[in-house]
Structure formats: structure tokens, C-alpha cells
Structure 1
Amino acid sequence: MTVEAETTWGHELPREVDVVVIGAGQAGLSAAHHLRRRGFEPYRGFVVLDADETPGGAWAHRSPSLRMATVHGFHDLPDSALPAPDPDAPAREVVPVWFAAYEAEHALPVVRPVRVRAVRSLPDGRLQVETDRGDWTARALVNATGTWTRPFLPHYPGHFAGRQLHYADYRGPEEFAGQKVLVVGGGASAIQVLSELGPVAETVWATRRPPVYRDGPFTPEAGRAAVALVEQRVREGLPVRSVVSVTGLGPSVAYRRAEELGVLNRRPMFDRLTEHGAVWDGTEEHLDAIVWATGFRPEITHLAPLGLRGPGGGIRMEGTRAAADPRIHLVGYGPSASTVGANRAGRTAVNDIVELLGPTAQGRGEPRSSNAGAVQLTA
């Protein structure tokens, strides 16, 4: 299928580029910014394919109850600071507005909505990016698809007949008023849910391991140490752990609220589920609902045709580059799966791509300052 969309140049959208970026969240926008900065021309030299209909990445899908004051952490985009928001404003409204302004201000060539189905290697050395809106070919690829679309639900024995949902589908505490809710997970998402449910519901909190609490602010040294632990895993080709999983729980607004409410009474994981609840040490406890705040996995299924996964189950990485294929860069993955890490990863990936492609890149040259902007594809 060929889609003819008009850019602001008034020409058919180019389908052969030097670099395709998949995803327009923080990592993808960072990569796009640095591609423009290094002289890749929008649409002709590179393009950003985004699955969503509007800007914002995963932030646009977060719970309406997540306020800017309770966001776990955030970092500015390259050359653009987030304007001081109202602390009570929903993050799902504030961040997408900022991302949209960033795309426009930097004239980034974001094309949406485009869902990438597969990436394959062509005989001539280029990459074929297959989408629901036709194909693009590229000489290098930056994958910035994040994790939000792959929520992880662990398997436990038994069956619970009540309501179960992953944190990705959580929309606030109101619908759980007066209920008894089990919150599963030891990260920032679980703390957010507990802090919101505490005033309206009876909560039970369960994690596989005792949570690691961190006193005081998160220092740059601690951040580097956490990133190093995650980097070691991806260098060895092991399944990715999130940076947050090794940083511990810090004194956030949500954490302090949950502590004040007395809902941070962690239990070990239950033995099994039952129709009406869960069993700990042979005793069944009735539940009305379970919220699984059990994290996410990287969305990289479309890269499967490239055969990047190693025997360890993960993709072995050298910086942001897939060790098995220097054309492929993963940003917002592993050690860069945080807002500050995503910015650095975008710059690193583009530096490597410039070195890989060299002066033969077709879209290099002075970027146009006013003729690029997001393209909305229509059926």
C-alpha cells in the first residue's frame, strides 16, 4: 500500500531516507533533534514514525490521576526546558502539549499515525521498515518504541474472578471506592496507586522482594551506578532490567503520601489466587480487585526479522548500538529507559550513525528551517 501524503513542501512524502526513527516519545524526539542538528534534512534525510495520532508518547496514556507533582521524575528535552507546570495538572495533559510544541519549534518530521510491523534487511544493505501505511527504506534505524505498549503480567496459580488490571489501564481511585484492592509490585507505579487508593479503599500491598528504600535525593553518583548495572546486562545480551528497578524508592510526593496514610505495609507474594481472593500461608483473603503494577517489557517485536536476540534472551548492546548490527540503535532501552538517559542516548546514537553513514548520506546539508512539520496520514 502506498500512501500519498502532502508535506508542507507540496510533494509526495519521500519513502527512501537515510535514517528512520520509530517512536516520538522523549527518546525519539531527542534522536530527531540531534539528527537535524547534524544536518539530516527532514523527510528526505530522516523521518520519525509514530504510532499515536497525537504527540505525547506514553505520557498521553497515563492515568488522569497522575499529577505533575507526583510524577516520579522528569528531565528536559534537548534545548528545551519543560515550562513550570501547575503541580495539580494531569501529566497526560501537560507533557503532550510540551512535546507538540517541541515538534513544531524544531520542525521535526514526525509522521503519524504509523504502526511499524516489521524491520527487515534488504540485499543491498538497506533496511526495509514495513508499516500499516506502506514501507520506508533506510540505511540506519533508531528504535525508540519504549515499553508502554507491552505491560508485563506475571503468571500465578489459580484464578481470580474479580477485576484485574495492569497499571497501564489504571485510571484513578474513584472506581475502587469502598473496595479491598491488592496492589502488586515494588516500584514507583505501585506507590502511586497505593497513595491514591489509601483514602478511599482498603489496600493490600505485595511484592516479590522487600522494596529497597532510599533516603534523601537521588544523587548523580547513584544514578551512574544504577545505569552501570543495567548497562552490564545489555552488554552481556541478558533481558533488560529497568533503571528504576535498581535505584530504590525515594522520598517522592507519592511515597510521602502513602507513608502518611499507613499503606506501605508490604507482604510477600501470595501462594495462589482463588475465585474470591488470594491465599497467604494457607489462609484465603477476600479481594475485590487486583492492580498489577508489575512493570513493562521493551516493545521490540518488530525487530524480530533482524535476528538480534542472543542466547541470553536479550539484545547484546554496545552503547546504543546493537552489537550484531551497527545499523540498529535502541534508545529508551535498558540503561537509557529514563528521561535523562533517553536524551543522552539520542545524542550517542546519532553520533554513531553519522560515523557509520559518513558523507554519502543523501539527506545531509543545511536543514530547512520552516518547511518541515508533523504529517498526519489519512486513510
Structure 2
Amino acid sequence: MSSDNTSMPCARARHFNIVVIGAGQAGLSAAGTLHRRGLVAGSDFAVLDANQGPGGAWRHRWNALTLGRAHGVHDLPGFALKNPDTWRPASQVVGEYYGAYEQHLGLEVIRPTKVKVVTQPQDDVFYISTDGTDFTANAVINATGTWESPNIPYYHGLEYFTGKQWHTKTFRDVEDFRDQRVLVVGGGASAIQFLMMLEKVTDHTVWVSRSLPRWNPEHFSPDWGRRVEERVTTLVTAGKVPRSVVSNTGLALNEDSLDFINRGALVFRGFIDSFGADQVTLNGPGPDGATINSQGPAVDNLLRARDPRLAQMHRNTEILPGHGTDIPHQWVTPIDSILWATGFQHSLGHLYPLDIRSEYGGVVVGKDGVTVPAAPGVFLVGYGASASTVGATRAGRKAAVAAIQYLG
């Protein structure tokens, strides 16, 4: 295939047959497949990335998240990550790995380039406006992930809270919370990791979420992962908004997490009612904060099997102060900081001018999980079932092949 500049809506835009937006796991997988199918980076296709360097969202992770504590990084096609140092920060290891892959294939990633909007002025041409050079393409593979769209839910009174607020996206070092009273909000793996780390610097953590924690004692095997992907695919092919990762997977219940539960570090304390300037009102066990409530049948059964005395557990931290109230189970605790581990939304705003949203708020994708019937020539990767590193690799390959077939 060769580039054709005759259909450019703007003479200053650079034209490629295929433009890949994003250079994370999914985007690099797509680009690598295009390369192996004989397309030339910088001529037939281009990869745009908003980051300053390789690594995708991984490059922004906190240093304490070592590769050994991360969920894992799936090998990019034909380029294995051999014997990585699991004690090094995942941001460094993955950044170096992705960079080596880009160099190995000569992908010539164009960065930093942030895509602002994608439109379709002609039936067979997409116009890609960025904060720098603009581009046109006959097909677009979108791999922008979620990192740029942090989700922070609103609660009554939050605007009056005067303390520091952090999010998974802005978290850098657990030392920022030393000796502070920290409210950790969220029911996913990030919240669990934060609570484990915070135990080293403070005895004043309170874990809350919008729903009860879903502990899962099931072994996270490849077969289990495929079943999860099938459930997610059913949702996105109907155009529904993908649910959070933890709603599909649950929280890994193992010996490590059981120990933290027993010590009081991973104890779900209830639901947020409202905020004040330096406090939060909760609906949950209390108000003294001493007795640990049930953490769900999966946890309770395993703890009792290990030691019957654990049926009546108690926190090893100080008693949390409460206020008198006529509302049962409502209690107040002072806080200095809020750590929002409330996840992300898919970064698809730049594609909305193409009118791809369904009546349910999501994007309808084809049975292959990557095609967008509402916008022929657009392919989504890292969306829905392909949000994991394993799924992203497979989706990247599918999208590249589908884009080539689309262009004939």
C-alpha cells in the first residue's frame, strides 16, 4: 500500500492509509501486526502517542508498583519480555520494553502528539486534529485506553472538603500520606494495593466504596479470564458501557490479602453519606470503629476455616471517634486526605463527532470486538474485553488485520 494525498481536506495534513492513536499495549500490538503484514511505518501507517516517551499508561505508575506486584504484562507479538527484574518499578521495565519494541520494528512513533478530535469530512477519509501536526487517514485504529479519563464520583458536601485529594492517576509516593488520616475510596485492585502500602506509614485508614467488596477465591487462570472476556464482550456488542474491571473479576482472595484483612488493613468500613471540611460521614459499622464487620461470605468462610477465633475480629488501629446520631450505623470520622481509587473511563471523547455512541452510552462493536459498525474504518482496541494486557494484544492484532481488509 502507498500513501495518497489527493483526498486530503487540508493541504498541511499528513496522510497515511492507517493511523494508530495510542502506543500502549494495544496500539503497539496493532502497529506490530501492520509491520509484519508488510506495511511501512512512516509511509503506509503512523502511530501517534500523547506521551513524552514509550510506556503508555505504565510510564505514569508509582515507583512502589514493581513488576512483581503488577497484574502482569503480556508479551508483545513476536517480542518476548525475557526474565525481567520483578523488583524494579513497572513503569521503568515496561517503558524500556515498549521502547525496545518500537525501535526493533522501526515504528517511528510520533510523540508527543495529543489527538483533539477525529472527523470524517469525506466518506473514505478521516481528519485527525492534534495539538501539533494534523493527519488524514483512510482507517483509524483507536488505542487511547483510559488513563487520561480518571473517574471521581460526586458525594454531597465534597465541595466543602478542604483536605488534599489524590487519584490513582496522580498517586506517586506513599510517603505523601505519612501519619495522615486517609479515606481510601474504591473497590478495585488499586484500592487494595494502596491500603497495603498505607499500612506502613499510617494507622488511620478508612476503606469505603459504593458497593460491598467482591472478594473472589477462584484461581485467576486463563480459562477463567476467557469467561470474563466473554461476559464483557456480550455487553459491548450490545452498545452498553463496559463495567469496571473488578465488577467482572472480583478481588483476588489469597493468603496475602487474608493476612491484611486479619490485621485490619483491608477492612471495608461502609458507604459515604456526606463530606465536611475535614471529615466524612459514613453509613456502616460504627460508630466506635472497633468491631470488624463481615467482609463477605468468601472471606468469612476462609478465615473461620483457618482459625475459628477470627469470627470475632477487631481492628489493630485506634478507635475512630464518632458523633451521636439518630441514624443507625451512621458515624463520622476526621480525615486529612482522600485517595480516589475509583477507576477510569474510556478516553473516547475525540471520536464522538463520528456519532458512535449508542443509546446506552457505550459504543457498539462487532462480533470481532474491534470493528465499529456506526463508523466503518474505525477500530477500537483496549475497549471492553480488550482492556486487559492479554486482551489488548489480541485486539491489536485483530484490528490491524481488519483495517487491512477494510482497505482492500
Q: TM-score range by the shorter chain?
A: 0.7 to 0.9
Q: Does 1:188 align with 2:238?
A: no
2:46 match: 47
* Secondary structure in structure 2 of the residue aligned to 1:211: coil
Which amino acid counterpart does residue 312 of structure 1 have in structure 2? Answer: Y
Q: 2:386 aligns with which of 333, 336, 343?
A: 336
Structure 1: unaligned runs, 5 residues or longer: 1-12, 359-379
2:288 match: none
Q: Pick which of 95-104 and 128-137 moved more.
A: 128-137
Q: 1:324 aligns with which of 364, 374, 378?
A: 374
Cα distance, 1:254 vs structure 2: 7.1
Verify the 8 A CA contact 1:226 1:243 in the aligned structure 2.
Answer: no
Verify the 8 A CA contact 1:242 1:334 in the aligned structure 2.
Answer: no
Q: Pick which of 94-103 and 266-275 moved more.
A: 266-275
1:1-150 equivalences in 2 (<5 Å):
15-150=14-149
Question: Could you report, residue by residue, the CA deviation over 1:51-70 in whole angstroms, capped at 9, with x for unpaired residues?
Answer: 11111110110112211121
Which amino acid counterpart does residue 165 of structure 1 have in structure 2? Answer: W
CA separation in 2, counterparts of 1:219 and 1:35? 30
Identity of aligned residues (%): 45
Which amino acid counterpart does residue 193 of structure 2 have in structure 1? Answer: Q
Verify the 8 A CA contact 1:205 1:264 in the aligned structure 2.
Answer: yes
CA separation in 1, counterparts of 2:364 and 2:86? 40
Which amino acid counterpart does residue 303 of structure 1 have in structure 2? Answer: L
CA separation in 1, counterparts of 2:84 and 2:258? 21
Question: Could you report, residue by residue, the CA deviation over 1:52-110 in whole angstroms, capped at 9, with x for unpaired residues?
Answer: 11111101101122111211232111112223222221111111011101100111131
Cα distance, 1:256 vs structure 2: 6.1
CA separation in 1, counterparts of 2:256 and 2:123? 52
2:165 match: 164
Cα distance, 1:160 vs structure 2: 1.6
Cα distance, 1:261 vs structure 2: 4.4
Q: 1:253 to 1:181 in 2, by over 3 A?
A: farther
Give the total of aligned pairs: 346
1:206 match: 208
TM-score (norm: length of structure 2): 0.81
Verify the 8 A CA contact 2:187 2:246 in the aligned structure 1.
Answer: no
Verify the 8 A CA contact 1:242 1:337 in the aligned structure 2.
Answer: no
CA separation in 1, counterparts of 2:229 and 2:393? 14
* Secondary structure in structure 2 of the residue aligned to 1:225: helix
Q: Does 1:218 align with 2:268?
A: no
Q: Kindly name which structure, 1 or 2, has the bigger radius of gyration based on alpha carbons.
A: 2
CA separation in 2, counterparts of 1:258 and 1:331? 36
1:368 match: none
Q: 2:395 aligns with which of 342, 345, 355?
A: 345
Cα distance, 1:25 vs structure 2: 0.5
Question: Could you report, residue by residue, the CA deviation over 1:295-349 in whole angstroms, capped at 9, with x for unpaired residues?
Answer: 0001111112111111111111112011211210110111100100001001111
2:324 match: none
Q: 1:126 to 1:254 in 2, by over 3 A?
A: farther
Verify the 8 A CA contact 1:191 1:258 in the aligned structure 2.
Answer: no
Structure 2: unaligned runs, 5 residues or longer: 1-11, 284-329
* Secondary structure in structure 1 of the residue aligned to 2:363: coil
Which amino acid counterpart does residue 340 of structure 2 have in structure 1? Answer: W
* Secondary structure in structure 1 of the residue aligned to 2:272: coil
CA separation in 1, counterparts of 2:121 and 2:39? 22
Q: Pick which of 335-344 and 104-113 moved more.
A: 104-113
* Secondary structure in structure 1 of the residue aligned to 2:14: coil
CA separation in 1, counterparts of 2:246 and 2:26? 17
1:348-359 equivalences in 2 (<5 Å):
348-358=398-408
Q: 1:295 aligns with which of 338, 343, 346?
A: 343
* Secondary structure in structure 1 of the residue aligned to 2:29: helix
Verify the 8 A CA contact 2:13 2:133 in the aligned structure 1.
Answer: no
TM-score (norm: length of structure 1): 0.87
Verify the 8 A CA contact 1:140 1:327 in the aligned structure 2.
Answer: yes
Question: Could you report, residue by residue, the CA deviation over 1:174-226 in whole angstroms, capped at 9, with x for unpaired residues?
Answer: 11111111111111100110010012112111122222222253122211121
CA separation in 1, counterparts of 2:128 and 2:256? 41
